[in-house]
Structure 1
Amino acid sequence: MAKISTRSFADLLIHLGLILALLAALFLAFFFVYLPFTTNHGQTITVPDVTKLSLDEMQNILNDRDLRYEVSDCTFVAGALPLTIVQQYPRANMKVKEGRKIYITITKRVAPMVSMPKLTDLTDRSAELNLRSLGLEIGERIYVPDVAKNSVLRQLYNGKEIIPGTPVPKGAKIDLEVGDGLGNTMFAVPDVVGKPLDEAKLTIQGSSLKVGTIIPVDDPEKEVGTVVRQRPEARAGERIRVGETMDLWVVGPVEPN
């Protein structure tokens, strides 16, 4: 085995220089050759925008870019298709390394249920804010004659009145029956005494009035269902406002309103 001569100080310096040069070469090779080769140093991928895409579309796009994904959350978004991406991280156009995992939030298949709030007697604006806070949507505003301008008189779902506390799917549209403020219009009280209850109701509603309390009474001389009294009465000079109610006394028994 060959021996390296170190008999002189110059030989020692040469040997130390060779050792340091070798160490420097190994250092540079490790950081500028080995690490870049094993970690794809300097090679980045631009994150695509996958929001509003379906799961299948998103998977194809990420696979083409050697990216992975993980569903981090599920949520409900009114109007959005089920199983579509609504959020992602990292965000679109960020630079990441190959194989990076993209965390996504997708929409649920089925809308969760919420409890229907009480909207009557609120202004239509307050009712709208109340609905939106629960994830519900305001549908059609139906204006009816009533002194309470812009006040919610009834709440409707799918064309039928819905009572507070009824479960409805998030994102459902709730229609509002709202007073138009024209209830100051005065006119003569319609006379419905002697009419069958159904006919009396049509007359009252056709006069832009509301049917109030229906009180059953005994009257053997009258046919069941006949109106025998009303309040207010249809006396000469008696006036009533649009949107007000009329109570009826009817030969009973009768069904409640």
Structure 2
Amino acid sequence: MGKFFDYLKTKTFRKNLLIATVSIIAFLLVIFYSLGYYTHHGEGMPVPKLKGLSIGRAVELLEAQGLRYQINDSVYLIDKEPGIIVEQDPDPNTNVKANRTIYLIITRDAPNIKFPDIAGKTFLEVRSILNNYQLKVGDTSYVSDVARDVVISTSFGGSSIAKGQQIPKGSKVDLILGDGLGASEVDIPNLLGLLLNEARLSLIGSSLVLGEVTYEGTVVDTVGAKVIRQLPAISDTLNKVSIGTQIDVVLSN
């Protein structure tokens, strides 16, 4: 054992150790640079930035640089149209060799959902419900109705839509709401042949007012007299009047 330690102290050992160390380093350097030469280390082309581009435009750029592509996955994003690149691998400006495959994630069409029940609900309720279903409020318009800000009807893409119907998530739904005023015009009732009290009740039911009452000819029984004319009268050009309009009547036995 002592001779071994004595040998470690000799010039011969130190010389051999130095030669071995240099040889190992030289071998490693040769391997490193040989691999670099074999694999063309540092050579290649930068990957273009594809995020935000349409899949068609991205494919054009990749093919022009001799690169391949593969769509790995697709996701739905409410604020982006289908076919837009949202992720890429490798990242932009990464050096790659020709024929390298670039992996892409793109946006897809919105999934369909069942349209919720919003009929008869107020605008504030409907807006909250649509938001929970990831739908949007589109155009709103008002029609004459006694219910104020209550949904009268709904439509999507110009067609009416009902509860349970399939609709793409993120779609805009148009609403028709009541203005709270009710109808501004009503049909003129036909009073001919009615007694005065009957005519008065018919006008009240139509939100109209009994106007001037006159009699024609000799009337011996006013209670039994019936309407023979009314003004305004129902005609082909007039069948509606504003609420509260006075209707004059002429009675006769």
| TMscore range, shorter length | 0.5 to 0.7
CA shift, 1:125, in A, is: 4.5
Equivalence for 1:107 = 108
Distance in 2, Cα, partners of 1:232 & 1:67: 82
- Is this contact kept in 2: 1:114–1:168, CA < 8 A? yes
Q: Write the letter of the residue equivalent to 2:104.
A: Y
- Is this contact kept in 2: 1:114–1:170, CA < 8 A? yes
- Is this contact kept in 1: 2:74–2:107, CA < 8 A? yes
Identify the range of structure 1 (70-79 vs 153-162) with the bigger mean alpha-carbon deviation.
Answer: 70-79
SS of 1:175 mapped into structure 2? strand
Equivalence for 1:17 = 18
Summarize the alignment of residues 130-209 of structure 1 with structure 2, pairs less than 5 Å apart: 130-170=129-169, 172-181=171-180, 183=181, 190=186, 192-194=188-190
Percent of aligned pairs with the same amino acid: 24
Distance in 2, Cα, partners of 1:186 & 1:170: 35
List alignment gaps of at least 5 residues for structure 1: 1-5, 196-228, 243-257
Q: Residues 51 and 93 from structure 1, CA distance in 2 versus in 1: closer, same or farther, beyond 3 angstroms?
A: closer
Summarize the alignment of residues 1-257 of structure 1 with structure 2, pairs less than 5 Å apart: 9-31=10-32, 33-38=33-38, 41-42=41-42, 46-65=46-65, 67-75=67-75, 84-90=83-89, 93=92, 95=94, 97-98=96-97, 99=100, 101-108=102-109, 112-170=111-169, 172-181=171-180, 183=181, 190=186, 192-194=188-190, 233-234=205-206
SS of 2:163 mapped into structure 1? coil
- Is this contact kept in 1: 2:51–2:88, CA < 8 A? no
- Cα deviation, 1:169-188, whole Å, max 9, x if unaligned, reads 4454421002334x2x898x
- Is this contact kept in 2: 1:44–1:95, CA < 8 A? no
- Is this contact kept in 1: 2:137–2:173, CA < 8 A? yes
CA shift, 1:164, in A, is: 0.7
SS of 2:139 mapped into structure 1? strand
Distance in 2, Cα, partners of 1:39 & 1:148: 77
SS of 1:163 mapped into structure 2? coil
- Is this contact kept in 2: 1:192–1:230, CA < 8 A? no
Distance in 2, Cα, partners of 1:104 & 1:53: 11
Q: Write the letter of the residue equivalent to 1:16.
A: L
Q: Residues 158 and 81 from structure 1, CA distance in 2 versus in 1: closer, same or farther, beyond 3 angstroms?
A: closer
Distance in 2, Cα, partners of 1:123 & 1:62: 52
Distance in 2, Cα, partners of 1:230 & 1:49: 76
Q: Write the letter of the residue equivalent to 2:15.
A: I
SS of 2:30 mapped into structure 1? helix
SS of 2:205 mapped into structure 1? coil
Rg bigger for which structure?
2
Distance in 2, Cα, partners of 1:122 & 1:186: 20
Q: Residues 171 and 29 from structure 1, CA distance in 2 versus in 1: closer, same or farther, beyond 3 angstroms?
A: same
- Cα deviation, 1:151-198, whole Å, max 9, x if unaligned, reads 3221123444322112234454421002334x2x898x9465449xxx
CA shift, 1:139, in A, is: 2.6
List alignment gaps of at least 5 residues for structure 2: 1-6, 192-200, 211-241, 243-253
Equivalence for 1:200 = none
TM-score, normalised with respect to structure 2:
0.55
CA shift, 1:41, in A, is: 4.8
Aligned residue-pair number? 193
Q: Residues 234 and 129 from structure 1, CA distance in 2 versus in 1: closer, same or farther, beyond 3 angstroms?
A: closer
